[in-house]
Chains A and B, each alone.
Chain A
Amino acid sequence: MSIDFHFAWQTLLDGWPLFAYGIAMTLAFAFVGTACGLVLGLIIGAIHSMEIDPLDSTFKKILKKCGHVFTSLYVWIFRGTPMMVQAVFLYYLLKPILNWDGLTAGMIIISINTGAYMAEIIRSGIQAIDPGQSEGAKALGMTNAQTLFSIIFPQAIKNSFPSIGNQLIVNIKDSCMLNAIAVTELYFQATSIAGSTMKYTEIYMLVAIMYLILTSLATAILHFIEKKITHTNQVSVMDNCA
């Protein structure tokens, strides 16, 4: 076992624009995937939390039932299969219809995949909220949608912030699976450089270090935000005591 550190360094100096482009793409996939995934997760969470009320009209009952079935299927399928398989399957399946490129397909697929995880994260975030609050809102005449958006979601997102942040870290790494549909993110760049130089150990060591730096930075930023959220809470407690 030997690693040619000199070669690795030289490759980094010569090939940095390729790596930089790869990193930019990886981050773009991670952020877009996490943000769109969160929105999807909230929508799924909202549909999932709709209770079937005995006073609803038959049409409304059927609509809600279909919503429940749809959201369960969605989470079941996209959490239960590897993203790489989803990417290749959906990309080629829909290419004749949508005529999309790898970049668009990749963005959409990572969002849909993340959405399935976010739906579960939001669901448990909602479960952690005392159901009395929804009841309080109901008793004031607020609609389900008003209650969700003003009362439930803000608290669910806050409760789930660590898990949502974790999903960003996961996406930084897992976006590498999108190389299967020829998206030029960091892993794809590494594969091409390694292929042309035949120096696999050195190139993948470089890439591993780059991923580690990206995830460490993201972790640090998330910790900072998390601290800030809890800190504002503590301040408001102090204010009230005074």
Chain B
Amino acid sequence: MEHVIEIQHLKKSYGNLDVLHDVNLSIDEGQVMTIIGSSGSGKSTLLRCINLLEIPTGGTIAYRGKKILDGNMNINSYRSKVGMVFQSFNLFANKTVLENCMIAQIKVLKRNKEEARQIALKHLSAVGMEKFAQASVTTLSGGQKQRVAIARSLCMDPDVLLFDEPTSALDPEMVGDVLEVMNSLAKEGLTMVVVTHEMQFAKEVSDVVCFMDKGYVCEIGTSDQIFNHPKEERTKQFLSRYMNDAS
């Protein structure tokens, strides 16, 4: 079976600082992969490399078998297939909620206005934000912004959706709403790659959990393998500290 995304020997460095050393991963259709690890382990950089917001220094990334780094692939059309939800939402401040969800459909996918509107409203109501369609995004709370950002990505009919610590900038009581939305997306079979510190969420929804440490994939396996029977010492350390912190 062809992987949706296949990463081989991915490297990323900033000057002398190596952030990713040698990352090998593959993501399959309908899979939910969570990437966990301590701060500075390269999780977010890996995610940003997948979307080419950072250009890798070495290695290959293939999207459905096609290599995306050799210049033969249109980066913008690739990005419209591989959506991204950010920690800081990154909504367009000069547009309403509805316009945020429509603009890329019109500009990138060349949908007409009415079609874009219908699709936007469909996804906004799926995340419980249809009542705010006409609101300016600057007036929303963090949790509401993130749900709009998720709807905005879904409007592009993404093949894969990447989440970069989607709940880290939220008030604790907002986190639940966003995780609930992500949970239902996972159940619908959307292919997702999620960088997160929400261990309970990772444990529940993941098909594959990837533990990263110091720019390497330290351990990868099913949710049960990683959370209940970790093999690597670093994984055990990280998880025990996390569980202690949480309690």
Contacts and interface: CB of A to CB of B under 8 A. Distances in A.
Given A135-B53, A136-B86, A139-B86, 12 more contacts: A53-B55, A55-B52, A55-B69, A55-B75, A133-B91, A137-B92, A140-B80, A140-B108, A141-B79, A142-B108, A151-B94, A240-B132
Interface residues of A, number: 29
Nearest to A53: B55
B200 interface: no
B247 interface: no
B76 interface: yes
Q: Which of B94, B108, B138 counts the most chain A CB atoms within 10 A?
A: B94
A96 interface: no
Interface in B134-161: 134-136, 138-139, 149, 152-153, 156
Contacts of A239: 134-135
Interface string A141-171: 1110010001100110010000000000000
A116 B204 CA distance: 57
Contacts of A151: 92, 94-95, 103
B215 interface: no
Given A55-B55, A142-B107, A150-B103, A132 B79 contact: no
B107 A132 contact: no
A196 B189 CA distance: 88
B98 to A, nearest CB: 13
Interface in A115-148: 129-130, 132-133, 135-143, 146
11 contacts: A55-B71, A135-B53, A136-B89, A136-B149, A138-B53, A138-B79, A141-B80, A142-B107, A143-B76, A146-B107, A239-B135
A237 B137 CA distance: 10
Contact of A240 (B71, B88, B136, B156): B136
Contacts of A135: 53, 86, 90
A197 interface: no
B77 A141 contact: yes
A161 to B, nearest CB: 13
Contacts of B107: 142, 146, 150
A146 to B, nearest CB: 5
Interface of A: 53-55, 57, 129-130, 132-133, 135-143, 146, 150-151, 154-155, 158, 233, 236-237, 239-241
Given A146-B107, A151-B92, A151-B94, A140 B139 contact: no
A129 B95 CA distance: 14
Contacts of B55: 53-55
Interface of B: 51-53, 55, 69, 71, 75-81, 83-84, 86, 88-95, 103-104, 107-108, 132, 134-136, 138-139, 149, 152-153, 156
Contacts of A139: 51, 53, 79, 83-84, 86, 90, 153
Contact of B92 (A55, A133, A236, A241): A133
Nearest to A150: B103
A141 B104 CA distance: 7
B53 A237 contact: no
A189 to B, nearest CB: 43
A240 B135 contact: yes
A126 to B, nearest CB: 13
Contact of B153 (A55, A140, A150): A140
Nearest to A238: B139
Identify which of A57, A136, A141, A142 gathers the most chain B CB atoms within 10 Å of its CB.
A141
Nearest to B51: A139
Contact of A141 (B69, B136, B139, B156): B156
B91 A136 contact: yes
Contacts of A236: 135-136, 139
The list of the 6 closest CB pairs from A to B, nearest first, reads A141-B80, A136-B90, A140-B104, A139-B84, A132-B90, A240-B135
A154 B94 contact: yes
